[in-house]
Structure 1
């Protein structure tokens, strides 16, 4: 796995523009933003959630509340949560009311965050903010999680973790998190990725690059449309994936005239490709760098990313490990109306299964 394969180099500068003008922004009216917090608080106190169900957010009563009551939110919230409209494929939604003193200490890893969410004395802010994330995600589509990632949580906690500073995962810090499609290895990966900021004292930038903005010639596009190389799951899913279960997939695909983009150089065996393919892939990588935008989220802001056309990453930063570190929450969202290439229906996804209580159809093009 990593170490066995070559990690594509990147020279992304550590830009920390707070919100570049290229990014679409949708500001919620103050009363609509308060309504999201108020509904989440009401659901939180209504439920008698125990530690186990609060940790995974799979309590049937909670799921019922989310699935029925998100419709009570103001129309402006539903409108804000539609897919990004611009060619950047990214939208910033601001801002959910949030005070730093509600959060307590930033946990040191996702396990501690999950334990605190289910703790009767600690869970208040984190658990309620998980519900906020699920309500917003349900306005956008169908939120889901992964059985093999963060113990099946529907809302993941993204924070720097001791010992994982140099990983290519959300737990890293001091290394550049290379631009990638979220869960590029899997046919049931998210259509939209939602990142909610709880704390970001050093204005650490999240990087985004859209395939809609890159310049490739016809020959390069043809090369990248070949199903030549696999993409493996990242380290958060483990490392033991037999070669027999690594089917090649195209980097670029198209469905009904719409681009589908799967890119994760850190988990792609590029050394196994021929020169023409590697040259086209290098061109795509440099183009994604050229069009890269870095945005530093503030507490209460939400970043909505179109995972079919945008890769995201993170600039390096020095973790504090003192309870004040950057803390994001992440939700995968499926859009049931959006189709994927028919060939993806044959992929096994390395045995990784979704936790999808809101899911309807699979959304495969036929």
Structure 2
């Protein structure tokens, strides 16, 4: 794994202040970051910021498939202790929920999931007792396997945003771009076949509610601009696939590991990941549960008319759009 830093897009002090002030005003006007009225006010508020933030929030434009937005200033003493579980967050760090929503709205359409974290548009990623060994954001003791966010669903985000609230121990987020791998044509062809499905991960309360079995999906496909992927080995039943497909999948895992980078976020950083190009994960760490553990906030964004996925995904059996809620800008 390389320790090369991700591309950084700096915000100057005045732009960072303008963004933070706009978020604070929205929060003061509407009282809660989860208020429907605040969500309704996002289009107008984000439009006022478009000119100053437009260049920094331009689409991901390198083969790395990601960048770090840097320049926002977060006071560790003001955000309160790291919660022990997302459900106990309450209003902690609410200002940064709104900052992340504004950034999301400037890049596309924020989305939420009915069955995850009570349908909130901003999720809190914290280590939680009893979840140390799961393949979810609440784990700590195990490597969070590199994966496409919400890979099981055709309505998954095009962009994943991770805002760092606290990271005293420099715990790295891992990322690997399919555009940096070297795969044989035969492997690309093999993994373009729809052989096995991707199952919902354990973070979804709605996983049992889908109608019928999931359809097999391709792992790789050519968008016309280069390869994209849909990848979640922890929730892919590889034992159901033939030997040739499993071998190609293993070589893809090896290549993604070879090009993987470790990004240690600072408080105030926002990592933007192209969810069609890049798989992300997290290194293992020892959680203390003393209020000082790593704490990220996560938002998911869809980008209209983005030609990076096969049209066949819209008809996948069993995974309807009822599970997804979009705030329409």
Query: TM-score, length-normalised on structure 2?
Result: 0.95
Q: How far apart are the structure 1 equivalents of 2:212 and 2:300?
A: 28
Q: How far apart are the structure 2 equivalents of 1:109 and 1:85?
A: 35
Which residue is 2:258 aligned to? Answer: 290
- The alignment status of 1:158 with 2:125, answered yes or no, reads yes
Which residue is 2:83 aligned to? Answer: 107
Which residue is 1:4 aligned to? Answer: none
Which residue is 2:151 aligned to? Answer: 184
Q: How far apart are the structure 1 equivalents of 2:103 and 2:54?
A: 8
- The alignment status of 1:355 with 2:322, answered yes or no, reads no
User: Could you say what the CA RMSD is over the residues aligned between the two structures, in angstroms?
Assistant: 1.7
| CA deviation string 1:142-201 (max 9, x = no partner) | 111100111100000000000000000001011000000000110010000000000000
Q: How far apart are the structure 2 equivalents of 1:208 and 1:47?
A: 36
Aligned residue among 106, 111, 114 for 1:139: 106
Which residue is 2:311 aligned to? Answer: 342
Answer yes or no: is the 8 Å Cα contact 2:214–2:317 preserved in 1.
no
Query: TM-score, length-normalised on structure 1?
Result: 0.85
Q: How far apart are the structure 1 equivalents of 2:210 and 2:38?
A: 38
User: Unpaired segments of 5 or more residues in structure 2?
Assistant: none
Answer yes or no: is the 8 Å Cα contact 1:24–1:84 preserved in 2.
no
Query: Displacement, 1:258?
Result: 4.1
Answer yes or no: is the 8 Å Cα contact 1:185–1:349 preserved in 2.
no
Q: Are the structure 2 counterparts of residues 103 and 242 from structure 1 closer, same or farther at C-alpha, using a change threshold of 3 Å?
A: closer
Q: How far apart are the structure 1 equivalents of 2:219 and 2:87?
A: 33
- The alignment status of 1:228 with 2:211, answered yes or no, reads no
Aligned residue among 73, 96, 117 for 1:97: 73
Q: How far apart are the structure 1 equivalents of 2:209 and 2:117?
A: 19
- The alignment status of 1:148 with 2:106, answered yes or no, reads no
Q: Are the structure 2 counterparts of residues 276 and 284 from structure 1 closer, same or farther at C-alpha, using a change threshold of 3 Å?
A: same
| CA deviation string 1:307-328 (max 9, x = no partner) | 0010000000000100111000
Q: How far apart are the structure 2 equivalents of 1:47 and 1:134?
A: 14
| CA deviation string 1:232-284 (max 9, x = no partner) | 01001145478941210000122344433100000001111111111100000
| CA deviation string 1:64-105 (max 9, x = no partner) | 221111122263422212222111101011021110011111
More moved, 350-359 vs 30-39: 350-359
Q: Are the structure 2 counterparts of residues 152 and 101 from structure 1 closer, same or farther at C-alpha, using a change threshold of 3 Å?
A: same
* Aligned positions, number: 326
More moved, 256-265 vs 173-182: 256-265
Q: How far apart are the structure 2 equivalents of 1:161 and 1:275?
A: 37
Aligned residue among 252, 255, 274 for 2:220: 252
Aligned residue among 29, 32, 55 for 1:79: 55
More moved, 257-266 vs 297-306: 257-266
Query: Displacement, 1:60?
Result: 3.1
User: Unpaired segments of 5 or more residues in structure 1?
Assistant: 1-12, 118-122, 360-366
Q: Are the structure 2 counterparts of residues 70 and 269 from structure 1 closer, same or farther at C-alpha, using a change threshold of 3 Å?
A: same
Query: Displacement, 1:350?
Result: 3.3
Which residue is 1:362 aligned to? Answer: none
Q: Are the structure 2 counterparts of residues 132 and 306 from structure 1 closer, same or farther at C-alpha, using a change threshold of 3 Å?
A: same
